[in-house]
Amino acid sequence: MSRIFAVTNQKGGVGKTTTSVNLAAALAASGRSVLLIDVDAQGNATMGVGVNKDELTRTGCDVLLGEADMDEAIIDLKELGFSLLPSNADMTAAEVGLRQRQNGEQALKTALQDMQRHFDYVIIDCPPALSMLTVNALSACSGVLIPMQCEYYALEGLSALLDTVEKVRSVINPDLQIEGLLRTMYDPRNRLSGEVSDQLVAHFKDKVYETIIPRNVRLAEAPSHGIPVLQYDANCAGAQAYQALAAEVQQRATRRAA
C-alpha cells in the first residue's frame, strides 16, 4: 500500500516545493515508484522537474473537477525516474469549483483510489495557504510533512496548520497524522537557528526529522535548470541531505509496518 504525504506549510518560502521535488527524486533513486502531485496554481514543482506548465493539455485541475482520469494527466518523467501530476494557473478554477461541490474536499482522494496502488510513495506539493486544495491533500494523505525554517516567525504559523490537521482528522480523515517536521535552509552559524531548532525538538520530539536541510547554493540553482538537485549535483550538501531524508522516511515507514 502506498504512503501518501502532503508537504505543506501555510508560510511561503520555507522549502516546500524544494522538498517535494527532491524527496520524490531521492525516493525514486532508492528504487521506489513515486508520484509527485502538484496542486499549487503557481506550478513551481511542475517547472522544477522540467515540464512547461504553459504547454499542458491536461492538469490536476481536470482530474479534480472530474474532466479527466488520473492516468490521462500523469506525465512519466523517465529521465528522473518518477511520475508527475502537473499543475498550472488553471488550478485556481479547481479551488473555486471544488468549493461548490458536495464532498469537494475529497476529490483528490477519490481520484487517487485507483492509481495509488501503482506507487510506493505519493508526494503532494501544496499551495502556501490553508485552501480547499490543501484540505484535499490532507484528506487524501496518510501523513503531513511540514518543512520549516528555523527562524523567529516559524512557530507562529505552525499552530494554525496543526489546528487544520486536527479538524481534517476529526471530520474527514481519521488516519491523518503528522509524518514529520523538517528543518530547512538551516545555517548552523546562526544562533537563532539553533535556538528554534532546539525548541522544535523539545516540543515535537521524534516528530522532528533527524535530517536537516542546509542552505546550499546548488540546491537553490537546480530549479532554474528544471531538474532535482540529485541530477544537478549529486555530491552537493543539498543532494546528500535529501538522500538522507528519503532514507529516514523509508525507515519510519518500515517501523510502522512492523
> Per-residue pLDDT tens for 199-240?
889 989 999 999 999 999 999 999 999 999 999 999 999 999
| pLDDT of res. 160 | 82
Q: In what order do the strands lie in the sheet with 34-38?
A: 75-77, 82-85, 34-38, 121-125, 3-7, 143-149, 177-186, 208-214
CATH code for the domain of 86: 3.40.50.300
Average pLDDT over residues 243-257: 90
How far is residue 27's CA from residue 246's CA, in Å, rounded to a whole number?
5
| pLDDT of res. 254 | 81
Expressed as residue numbers, the domain containing 46 is: 3-257
- Given a cut of 80, whether residue 54 has pLDDT beyond it is yes
| pLDDT of res. 176 | 94
- Given a cut of 90, whether residue 114 has pLDDT beyond it is no
Provide the domain count of the chain: 1
Phi, psi (deg, nearest 5) at residue 143: -150, 150
| pLDDT of res. 191 | 83
> Per-residue pLDDT tens for 131-177?
999 999 999 999 999 999 888 777 777 888 888 899 999 999 999 99
Q: Which of these ranges, 27-36, 64-73, 152-161, has the smallest mean pLDDT? A: 152-161
Q: Are 109 and 118 in contact (CB under 8 A)?
A: no
How far is residue 217's CA from residue 28's CA, in Å, rounded to a whole number?
23
How far is residue 82's CA from residue 117's CA, in Å, rounded to a whole number?
15
